[in-house]
Structure 1
Amino acid sequence: MTEFSINVSEMAWPCIIALAWLLGDMGHRWLRLPRISIYALTGFALVNLLPTYLSPLDNHSLVLLANIAFGLILFEFAYRINLRWLSLNPWVAVTGLVESGVTFAAVYFVALWHGSSQLMSLLLAALAMSSSPTAVLRIINEQRSSGQVSERILHLTAINSVLAVFAFKIILMYWVMQTSGDLLQASAQSLHVMMAALASLVAGIVFGILLPIVLSWRGRQAEDATLGFAFAVIVLVSLSYASGLSPVLATLAFGLVARHRRISLGRTQRNFGVLGELLTVVLFVFAASTLAWQQVWAGALLGVVLLVMRLGSKILVTTALAPVSGISLRKGLLSGVGLAPVSVFLLLSLEQPRNFGMVMTEEWFALVAMTLMLEVVGPVLTQLALFAAKETPEEREE
């Protein structure tokens, strides 16, 4: 009987992933819903219905696969970021900075008003700033959209995600410094976090410099660029995962340097082909499966309030600054709506406060609830924004 239970447990995840892929394809074809929304909903529902056989964070192979999938998407996302465009139109960068700051302030004061501690309010505000690079890029690629709104959503997501990561790290280090009785130990922990982040960036830069040299030496850049980048991302993520570095920072740095080195990905190879499609299903099923139903229910009411404040802040800023940044008010509003998806992988950062002994509160559960809602509804809002902006092929033909 025990052997049968173990076999069921080993078969559960492949079956869930296959079912999510099938449901996602059906939902996209019949209802025109984003596939990733259905992947996430399937993962959340089935893991909470069958917790005995599906424990995502205890499955190290699944965690590694999800990190590789995340790395592939982040690499392609960073590859799409045009730093020269930001320098030519600095108002886009200003919009990203202001939007992130206003979102941070709005969530911070709502959390304080609800009775949360100052530290917890700061951490909530930092995580709420970010939009999801994975969801945004996936929707843009899936809809084959292009235009001003698409590009602004990509670049604003890059800005607020990087700011969110650094703000979270700084606030967490501040908390360690304040609560630790041993100042030397706290300083050592903070220095370790900073050095790990720096090493992650260096690793990504080194990969971005060496891989084009290897491809050039082989003399088949046009044919093998995508496959070479895919192998490089897999190795880089595995190296980061094994050595305690940040796969997020490493793959982002890799993508930016690779773009600067002028090695291009073919249009037909977006999402890294079949490999990327498969790992995308794994990623979104896994990400939503880490959210517990009890936590979502406990924080649902405050989660809705935080959701409204977060999305409202982004829409307000992108709309207000639209004219000076060179687009219409309508496109500015749609850019804000497109920033709806929240990065569920930042929620995995919750393990860090727990490791330092921080107690999770109702406000933390509210962030979990908001993440689930925006993991499912956020991609739908991004898709609607692209449709309304007439940047998808179907809308452009009308």
Structure 2
Amino acid sequence: MFHQIVDWFLALMRAPLAGLRGADPVLGLAVVVLAALVLASLLHRRARLPRLLGYLLVGALASPVALGLLERTDIDPWKPLIDLAVAALVFELGTRLRPRWLIDNPWLAASSALEAAAAGVVVWFALVALGAPKASAAAAAACAAATSPVITMAAFLEARPRGQVAERLLMLSAINSVLAILAIKLWPVIAHSRGLSAPESLALLADASVVIFGSLLLGLACGVLLDRLGRLHDEAATMPVLQLALVVLAALLASAWGLSPFIALLVAGMTARSRMRHRLTVQPYLGSAGAALTVLLFISFGVLSTVHDWNALWPWVAAIVLARLLGKGAAVFATARPSGLSWRQAGALTLALQPMSSLSVLLVGDSFGWRGPLPGADPAVIQALLIATTLMQLSGPLWTLWPLKHLVGETLDDAAPARET
């Protein structure tokens, strides 16, 4: 009887949306967006939870995993807009980074590289110990090394934290994402090392080098271009339009030339900040249009949730999640005191680094098929990675904001100052 009631309720929920989708596919997604905005507002007012969590939860409920109101293919036509939302957040992240800090504090630079490497290595050992193929485990480890810069940046725009941990979180999430993208580009050399000749290996290495240095040059050029155009365009009200146009240009050129949009946009943001300084005023999400796209982005993250084959793959999923926590925590605590962090701050930073990133594959494929950027990888290992990513993305805003608020008191609505031990 209970199952019949549940089936009847699900059918009742699906029927209106199915009718809307039949009339116009956009209407179905519009209903989901409306529900996400309402739930996010309720969660924030009643439970003081991040609004981002509401967007993610509604997307997950509408996904095939739960109510099945939306299929993954339903959001494929929206991928250009979703990519634009990612691009806007990455550019804004770049404008907030201070590369000089890495020179002034070498231990911070060491911590940035060490936490990404440690997370990847520990994940690889854990997966191999549980029987995963070594090459596929390396692919999963490369992806798992990254902290989601999109969740981090969006959470920052919502809560506006300020302090040592918050600034380091931005820096580390940017650096470990760049390292993850580089590792994924080099993965074919590792995965097929025995079957590749020396010229083929050199060609793959050269291709990876072209991607990295080409992305750097494109980012520098776009940052300089924004500086020059900003001198000619002195109307503050439409400056976000100019910035958004530059973001679109950089992302499209990077994709067309086979470069990394993430690196290009990150460098463009850093270059623009370095050259323009106080003349660069970046509105949150690059304006209201970017904010609307960000809502769509996080709903899409929820729709892409997957727990398929959980019963068979849960040991690998648990290994990925726990190994990341162990690896990142060990590296952060090992460099905490030399880099100027207290133990409490190190603990907060470790927790805030946990949201996993799908960014390294999100900007590569033409659709949300996910396995395209990692051809030849074992499907079971990749599925375990996707389940782990689902879990750490859906809970990502909590991982990011809870330690910043409750452990170190760096969010604006905190009454108590940060404590050190």
TM beyond 0.5? yes
1:127 lines up with 2:149 in the alignment: no
Over the aligned positions, Cα root-mean-square deviation in angstroms equals 2.8
For 2:374 and 2:331, how far apart are their aligned partners in 1? 35
For 1:63 and 1:210, how far apart are their aligned partners in 2? 26
For 2:53 and 2:200, how far apart are their aligned partners in 1? 43
Q: 1:357 to 1:329 in 2, by over 3 A?
A: closer
2:186 touches 2:208 (CA, 8 Å); kept in 1? no
1:208 is matched with 223
1:395 lines up with 2:410 in the alignment: no
The secondary structure found in structure 2 opposite 1:108 is: helix
Q: Deviations over 1:191-229 (max 9, x none)?
A: 555434443333222111112111102344x55443321
1:172 touches 1:353 (CA, 8 Å); kept in 2? no
Q: 1:138 to 1:353 in 2, by over 3 A?
A: closer
2:142 touches 2:183 (CA, 8 Å); kept in 1? yes
1:347 touches 1:368 (CA, 8 Å); kept in 2? no
For 1:266 and 1:354, how far apart are their aligned partners in 2? 38
1:167 lines up with 2:173 in the alignment: no
2:298 is matched with 284
Q: 1:81 to 1:295 in 2, by over 3 A?
A: farther
1:373 lines up with 2:367 in the alignment: no
1:195 lines up with 2:210 in the alignment: yes
1:273 is matched with 287
Choose from 35, 41, 44 the match for 2:60. Answer: 44
For 2:54 and 2:310, how far apart are their aligned partners in 1? 18
The CA deviation at 1:126 is 0.9
Unaligned runs of 5+ in 2: 1-17
Choose from 268, 274, 278 the match for 1:254. Answer: 268
Q: How does 1:171-186 map to 2 (within 5 A)?
A: 171-176=187-192, 178-179=194-195
For 2:113 and 2:20, how far apart are their aligned partners in 1? 54
Question: In structure 2, what residue type is equivalent to 1:386?
Answer: L
1:111 is matched with 127
2:5 is matched with none
The secondary structure found in structure 2 opposite 1:368 is: helix
TM-score (norm 1): 0.88
For 1:301 and 1:29, how far apart are their aligned partners in 2? 37
1:74 touches 1:134 (CA, 8 Å); kept in 2? yes
For 2:93 and 2:166, how far apart are their aligned partners in 1? 12
1:8 touches 1:53 (CA, 8 Å); kept in 2? no
2:165 touches 2:348 (CA, 8 Å); kept in 1? yes
Q: 1:3 to 1:243 in 2, by over 3 A?
A: farther
Q: 1:134 to 1:352 in 2, by over 3 A?
A: closer
For 1:145 and 1:11, how far apart are their aligned partners in 2? 36
1:11 is matched with 27
For 1:344 and 1:38, how far apart are their aligned partners in 2? 19
Choose from 77, 85, 88 the match for 2:104. Answer: 88
For 1:202 and 1:22, how far apart are their aligned partners in 2? 43
Choose from 9, 26, 45 the match for 2:42. Answer: 26
Choose from 333, 356, 360 the match for 1:342. Answer: 356
For 1:60 and 1:395, how far apart are their aligned partners in 2? 40
Question: In structure 2, what residue type is equivalent to 1:367?
Answer: L
Q: Deviations over 1:56-104 (max 9, x none)?
A: 4x65541101100000000011111101111111111111111112111
The secondary structure found in structure 1 opposite 2:135 is: helix
Q: Deviations over 1:175-200 (max 9, x none)?
A: 355446x8767765665554344433
Equivalences, count: 393
1:363 is matched with 381
Q: 1:35 to 1:53 in 2, by over 3 A?
A: closer
The secondary structure found in structure 1 opposite 2:395 is: helix
Q: 1:386 to 1:377 in 2, by over 3 A?
A: same
Question: In structure 2, what residue type is equivalent to 1:391?
Answer: E
The CA deviation at 1:242 is 4.9
The CA deviation at 1:384 is 1.0
Q: Deviations over 1:358-387 (max 9, x none)?
A: 153332222111111111223202111111
For 1:381 and 1:306, how far apart are their aligned partners in 2? 16
Residue range with higher mean Cα deviation, 69-78 or 380-389: 380-389
Q: 1:394 to 1:55 in 2, by over 3 A?
A: closer
2:79 is matched with 63
TM-score (norm 2): 0.84
1:321 lines up with 2:335 in the alignment: yes
Q: 1:16 to 1:187 in 2, by over 3 A?
A: farther
The CA deviation at 1:312 is 2.3
Residue range with higher mean Cα deviation, 36-45 or 288-297: 288-297
Q: 1:380 to 1:251 in 2, by over 3 A?
A: same
1:300 touches 1:370 (CA, 8 Å); kept in 2? no
For 1:75 and 1:297, how far apart are their aligned partners in 2? 39
For 1:93 and 1:60, how far apart are their aligned partners in 2? 38
The CA deviation at 1:303 is 1.0
For 2:380 and 2:100, how far apart are their aligned partners in 1? 43
